[in-house]
A and B are shown apart, each in its own frame.
Chain A
Amino acid sequence: MDEPRWVGARVSRIDAADKVTGRLKFMSDLSFPGMLWGAVLRSAHPHALIKKIDTSKAEAIDGVVAVLTHKDVPGLNGFGIVVPDQPVLCFDKVRYMGDAVALVAATSKEKASEALRAIEVEYEPLPVVDDPEEAMLESSPKVHADGNIHHHIKVERGDVDAAFREAAVVVENTYYTPRQMHAFMETESGVATMDEDGNITVWCGSQHPFRDQLQIARALGMNPRKIQVVSTPTGGAFGGKDEITVQIYLALLALRTGRPVKIVLSREESAVAGMKRHPMKIRMKTAAAADGTLLANEVRVVADTGAYASLGGPVVNLAIEHSCGAYRMPNVKLEGFCVYTNNGLAGAFRGFGANQVIFALETQIDMIAERLGMDRLEFRRKNALRQGDVAALGHTMTASVGAVATLDAASKCEIWVRREELKARPSAPHKKRGVGIATELHGCGLGVGLPDYGAATIELLPDGRFAVGVSCPEIGQGNTTAFAQMAADSLGCSVEDIVMVSGDSRYTLDSGTSTASRSVYTGGNAIRCAAARMREAIADVAAEALGAPREEIAFGRGSVEARSCPAGEPTRSAGRLSFREIACIAESKGRRLKTEGDFIWPVADRGVEGYFGLPHLIYSYITQVALVEVNTLTGEVEVLRAVSIPDPGKAINPVGIEAQSEGGVVMGMGYALMEDTVIEQGITKTPNFSTYIIPTSVDAPEIETIIVEELEPSGPFGAKGIGEAVCVPITPAITNAIHDATGIWITHIPATAERVYMALRKQAGEPAGA
């Protein structure tokens, strides 16, 4: 194939103009004639039995068109990606404050809220289960009948005990991580419509329209083919729209009323009912030899999944897989528990279990380096995985490995090279500066035992452009632009000649989720397959039209030509046909040029017996460096500069990688310093952005992104994926920088000013209040 022209170029996003001008309509912006407003009655208790539900007063309100309870769920009253343990509408008990008890549809928002207030539910409160470790005890009240431990994983390799005995340094600590909120701009929202034939269309931002379709069908007891799900564009997701959010409510209300119904969750409702990152308590014991070789890691993770499973099991599996980071670790003993409580709901979130364990591990790594008197970067480089190495879980790293390359680049970046000089000049004498570094690897795709597949369609339109369909939704990450670039180069046309169709279960083929750092890799490979077939189809039409042998047809940019004329036979139109002419010729013969491509992921050589989804074969790598300044009088931490060095394989769109990298740094910084959904006795204390603190543009540091491309031969143009890794090591890079500045170790995030200040006081031997 020709040199790529679009792949690797700094292409502006194809949706940029519509987004910045506000022209673009998200699902929550859609309106239809006769549309009703839907609303959800949430539980009044974090844990209670439902004794009685009386909807009669609500039904009597003028303008209320439907009130639904569990009796009105025609199919399975449950959803959940892995196990459907979350009721669509609760019937016997409620397990968290976000549990849905009833739905209403009314002619206005106000009527809908009035109806919610008029529904009478009698509860019998139960003891609240809010501590995951207590929840694991036999004696604890049960959130679900079969016990509070939803999932348990244990992986052992080598002999950790022997390694601990022989090691020169062993560090052991307990880490605590917060319940981060996705804080997408568009809350869980959408519209459902029904046509005369009873087909339902659900317009709702999400991360996998085809799986939503099946979950909706299961709850409605309906043929999935009668349900269309449209989920592009999505106003941010970050994993928080991987699970069903409001889709089933919308579909049920449209089915009952026959009218379009819209639901838009308020920020407060979203904060209480929506998904979060799993808070984890991590016990980690890590050992190294005197020469700095890592010997062993023993890890115990307890994750609070809240009331329902969703992807809690896979999240804990991935926490275990990532708990040894980008290092060789010959001896491991890793154990994870995913536990039910009445603390909201936790599930998929960018990083998927890695953020928590990488924070713990990368802190351990700095502690060991300090104890050994080794340079923190050298210590990491020495132990980093290389291609061909056996990873912690015992599988061989056969795909591209960029760990060392990203560390090499970090060793040359300005804030690392000049760190002593930068540290020597704080902005005031009572402020201290430090530089921190952290690295990780991040699994792309779904891992061993979960076949990961994708598909794409390409159609030559009458005007000579191509419609390219990939179902992985555009959730703001820019995948449709990357798809268009890869399609343009695979077809030999311009990006402007690509019309992307995305996230629609009717007009695209199932290519899986926009999660798991997988959509560019999967969609790209499927596009390449469909494009090769499209070129063949075009060549066939051209050969016939030009009267040239098929092998003589060569592709230019936007056109094909016959390389030479068969002797004595002059070719038509001077031997060259534009794609538009090809489309005309095909149409005149009643043919539509449309091809499909598919792709199945390669997987690692070895699974983990008894579990699915781990390990991975392909990983992205990233090293991040942070320069911070700590105010020792207040504990405030300012991140002054950050350098982010991802290895995404081929950077299909460097601008897109930079955007991911910058967004990821800020998200990981919020996780390090300020974000936490506080739940006390099952009640959310931080239900809006006045109490749930996320960084603003003023808090964002100056961010430099240095892209290191370790090309992955199985990837489209050498690409892997990078959507998640960008927000992970920055967290420990910041907390390690706090240590570098002040000498205190952060083992409990977020490192709020108060936590940092109290730790400083403790270090000085003067507890606060003295």
Chain B
Amino acid sequence: MRPFSVTVPESVDEAVEALARWGSEARVIAGGTDLVVELKEDRRSPAVLVDISRLHELREIRVEKRAGARGEDEAESVGESDVVWVGALATHAEVASSPLVRAAAPLLADACAHVGSPQIRGRGTIGGNMCTASPAGDVIPPLFALEASVDVAGPRGVRSVGVESFFVGPKRSALAPDEIVLGVRFRAHGPEHVSFFRKLGQRKSLAISVVSVAFAARRLGPDTFEDARVAFGAVAPTVVRARTVEKALDGKRLDAATARHISRLAFRDVMPITDIRGSQAYRQEMACNLLYEGLLGLLSGNAE
């Protein structure tokens, strides 16, 4: 590890200024659970770390725009027309246990609950997870399925980027070196929504996803869904939407056999590689089967 200095901005503007001043020599640090590993392995050697942990406003989780009246309890009253904002500095533990997120986007809460270990969840942030931009980042598939947008601040002001265009390649995002992520926003789920997040790792916890899947849809009838959004992690250079599958699901009445058949269409949407955690063939199969397993859990005829 090379020596570095640390600057601790008190505001977003100061942070952006610091990044502009130091250019490629600087690196943002939030929880540090990804960055410190890279520093230790000399994969990055910044001269300055911009520690954004004092930007408390980026820690907030809140309902941003409300259509209806405001109830006493945000979590209970949150509805489909509401927009939820989760700050970049919210930790996985905070997101996983937030009543608001659990009500408005249970698949995101679930994904955060399955990141690493309690220690990692206590430090690691969702902004860090996104900025690392790993195809296996667990927060990302739910954000795809929620069609979230990302708020980014830079010297040119704040811009909003659709989550799919935020990720441009393995470990590569659309973030400029002098920009920081402020948070994400997405429409809340209502009672008619169903969703799940499922990850396959090499063990039950502290596992990087071999394959992950996030699913969200609106229930039309007991076994019929519309507006399905399916996103897979770790099966392509970035997290991907499975649009073939989404189309096939739309409005179709499902039973185990059709669910299986449609899930197998995921083959067309993924292009995994072979690495130390799994082969291409296995990953391909697992994309289909994780989705199938999740759909089975939603079907009325299923005892699961």
Contact = CB atoms under 8 A, between A and B. Distances in A.
Do A and B contact each other directly (Cβ–Cβ < 8 Å)? yes
Interface of A: 428-430, 631, 633-634, 636, 638, 674, 678, 685-686, 690-691, 693, 695-696, 698-699, 752-754, 757-758, 761, 768-769
In order of increasing CB-CB distance, the 10 nearest A-B pairs are: A633-B289, A698-B205, A698-B204, A754-B282, A693-B202, A769-B281, A768-B281, A428-B304, A699-B204, A633-B293
Contacts of A768: 281-282, 284-285
A636 B296 CA distance: 17
Given A633-B289, A769-B285, A690 B203 contact: no
B278 A693 contact: no
B170 to A, nearest CB: 17
A109 to B, nearest CB: 10
B204 A634 contact: no
Contacts of B208: 690
Interface string B264-292: 00000000000011110110111001101
Nearest to B3: A110
A696 B284 contact: no
* Most chain A CB within a 10 A radius of its CB, from B202, B290, B292, B303: B202
Contact of A754 (B117, B203, B278): B278
B236 interface: no
Size bin of chain B's contact surface: 20 to 34
Contacts of A685: 276
B200 interface: yes
A686 B281 CA distance: 21
Interface string B54-71: 000000000000000000
Contacts of A769: 281, 284-285
Contacts of B292: 633
A761 B282 CA distance: 11
B304 A753 contact: no
A584 B279 CA distance: 73
A631 B304 CA distance: 13
15 contacts: A429-B303, A429-B304, A430-B293, A633-B289, A634-B286, A634-B290, A636-B200, A678-B276, A686-B276, A693-B203, A696-B204, A754-B282, A757-B286, A758-B282, A769-B284
Nearest to B117: A696
B206 interface: yes
Given A428-B304, A429-B303, A691-B276, A696 B282 contact: no
Nearest to A427: B304
Contacts of B200: 634, 636, 753
Interface string B189-233: 000000000001011111110100000000000000000000000
Given A631-B293, A757-B282, 11 more contacts: A430-B293, A633-B292, A690-B208, A696-B117, A696-B203, A696-B206, A752-B202, A753-B200, A754-B278, A757-B285, A768-B281
A607 to B, nearest CB: 44
A55 to B, nearest CB: 23
A769 B280 CA distance: 9
A768 B208 CA distance: 23
A691 B201 CA distance: 11
* Residue with the greatest number of chain A CB neighbours at <10 A, chosen from B200, B207, B282: B282
A674 B210 CA distance: 14
Contacts of B302: 429
B271 to A, nearest CB: 13
A71 B202 CA distance: 46
Nearest to B282: A754
